[in-house]
Chain A
């Protein structure tokens, strides 16, 4: 069962694009356009996590935050364009779990959501991603194909995860590098080539070597 995330955001573009982004990461997303009863709506929807904007019509985010915390311990990330220290402190004091400023780095936002969900509900699920018979266990850092298993390094595992998430689409080298950088691995072009070659070799040992295809000058495809 996919985790349900509720987006409380009055800017339609952001609301819809954030929804699309999160859905591409296989989350179920709920939104609302009625901000007069927002706290009641959150309670009623009972999501696994709430993304809350601070500048809202009717009530500001602080009010929503305070009211929500009286009734619920749902994981809460504040997403806002106000970025003063005061706003961050206020948010934390009112019980938000994270404070992310616009325009956010989506990689970081996704990582924070995943980490928060894992902390709140345990990492039992969504830790394995699959492409056909190839499966990647993110918790163990192992790839398996038809009963055979191989161990992957953190970078290799991240690369394979990204390719599986983008299955059927070309993933550019820059995109892969960007994803690795977001996990504090500041790899350069050569290192990436080495990482990908090693990943391919390891996949070959479990007879899954043919999965990653190269599109010259464009990137990789699974």
Chain B
């Protein structure tokens, strides 16, 4: 609080003081015939007194609000300000204090309610996914025993969509349910290809893997999920060939997934990993949810991996996942 700002707030008071002092001065000079010098002295003392009376108030308030501002600035979660507030020693401050206590409490209650709800919802989703997996497993076995390839393929799709729900729920969780372990690019890529086998075979996809026998540190299950999302996209957007290759460099190993699909428009490329973004291809193919790549990036961030894409329209897309080497033993 600057002194000038404070004084501006006291403008009415100051005007009245000046006004009454002036009238007093005029009165005593004109009516009682007091000498001018004496009148001026009286006026001066009155004005100085009135001004000086404001100083303690200014100092109290300045100290309090400056302290408040500093605490607010240093606070990570601003809505907790009420908890670190001192009890003020002036009346308006007390009103503010009481109000902040009430609103702060109500806000915290609300936040707690929502986070409990979100937590419960997430737990419900996880439980539901695990529940539904038993009937899906039953149906898959049935379809294999009656040798119905089309049914198996549809069930694979249901399974992968259900899996997406699970990973979406997990991607927002605070606790880590992943384990970073040593594995190879080969291992995660072949696992992903095997689980997407039926879909890829049905689309007559030509698949090639080259030079993947490189160690990486990551969670295999999450990485396989990410790869399956990328494979899904390649299938969805017109690829007929898929190549997995590695690009080792200092301090990291990159996995490249190249397809010969329809490609992504330059203007869309920066946003394909954004939530809900479907872009030109999504509009044309009409099946995009804007979730797959968003989840990929989010899970990559959690695992400490980098992900980016480059593309040429009509020629294909290359998605690159960068695995940093963090192993202290290598």
Do A and B make up one complex?
A: yes
A18–B144 Cα distance when bound, in Å, is 10
Is B56's CB within 8 Å of the partner chain A? no
Interface bits B274-303 vs A (CB < 8 Å: 1, else 0): 000000000000000000000000000000
Using Cβ atoms and an 8 Å threshold, which residues of chain B touch A103?
133, 136-137, 139-140, 155, 159
B204 to A21, Cβ gap below 8 A?
no
B206 to A13, Cβ gap below 8 A?
no
Is B78's CB within 8 Å of the partner chain A? no
Q: How far is the CB of B72 from chain A (nearest CB, A)?
A: 40
A188 to B141, Cβ gap below 8 A?
no
Is B149's CB within 8 Å of the partner chain A? yes
A105 to B194, Cβ gap below 8 A?
yes
A174 to B145, Cβ gap below 8 A?
no
Is A84's CB within 8 Å of the partner chain B? yes
Using Cβ atoms and an 8 Å threshold, which residues of chain A touch B135?
11, 13
B interface: dominant SS: helix
Is B193's CB within 8 Å of the partner chain A? yes
A188–B204 Cα distance when bound, in Å, is 7
Question: Of B144, B190, B201, which one neighbours A184 at CB under 8 angstroms?
Answer: B190
A-B contact count (CB 8 A): 91
Interface bits B127-166 vs A (CB < 8 Å: 1, else 0): 0001101111111111011010100000100010000000
A102 to B133, Cβ gap below 8 A?
yes
A85 to B179, Cβ gap below 8 A?
yes
Please tell me which stretch of A28-36, A114-122, A175-183 contacts chain B, meaning at least 4 of its Cβ atoms lie within 8 angstroms of it. Answer: A175-183
CB within 8 Å of B: which A33-92 residues: 81-86, 89
A interface: dominant SS: helix
Chain B interface residue count, CB cutoff 8 Å, equals 38
Is A108's CB within 8 Å of the partner chain B? yes
A18 to B141, Cβ gap below 8 A?
yes
A182 to B142, Cβ gap below 8 A?
no
B201 to A14, Cβ gap below 8 A?
no
Question: Of A17, A169, A178, which one neighbours B138 at CB under 8 angstroms?
Answer: A17
The size class of the interface chain A forms with chain B is 35 or more
A189–B205 Cα distance when bound, in Å, is 8
B134 to A178, Cβ gap below 8 A?
no
Which has the most chain A C-beta neighbours within 10 Å: B134, B142, B193? B134
Is B252's CB within 8 Å of the partner chain A? no
Using Cβ atoms and an 8 Å threshold, which residues of chain A touch B206?
188
Interface bits B203-225 vs A (CB < 8 Å: 1, else 0): 01111110000000001010000
A86–B193 Cα distance when bound, in Å, is 25
CB within 8 Å of B: which A88-145 residues: 89, 101-108
Q: How far is the CB of B272 from chain A (nearest CB, A)?
A: 26
Is B53's CB within 8 Å of the partner chain A? no
Question: Of A18, A102, A181, which one neighbours B193 at CB under 8 angstroms?
Answer: A181
A104–B195 Cα distance when bound, in Å, is 9
Q: Please, which residue of chain A has its CB at the minimum distance from the CB of B144? A: A106
Is B25's CB within 8 Å of the partner chain A? no
A174 to B198, Cβ gap below 8 A?
yes
A104 to B137, Cβ gap below 8 A?
yes
Q: How far is the CB of B122 from chain A (nearest CB, A)?
A: 13
B198 to A14, Cβ gap below 8 A?
no
Binding site for B on A (CB under 8 A): 11, 13-14, 17-18, 20-21, 24, 81-86, 89, 101-108, 169, 172, 174-175, 177-178, 181-182, 184, 186, 188-189
Binding site for A on B (CB under 8 A): 130-131, 133-142, 144-145, 147, 149, 155, 159, 177-179, 190, 193-195, 197-198, 200-202, 204-209, 219, 221
Can you name 4 extra interface pairs (CB under 8 A) apart from A103-B159, A174-B149? A13-B142, A84-B177, A85-B177, A105-B194
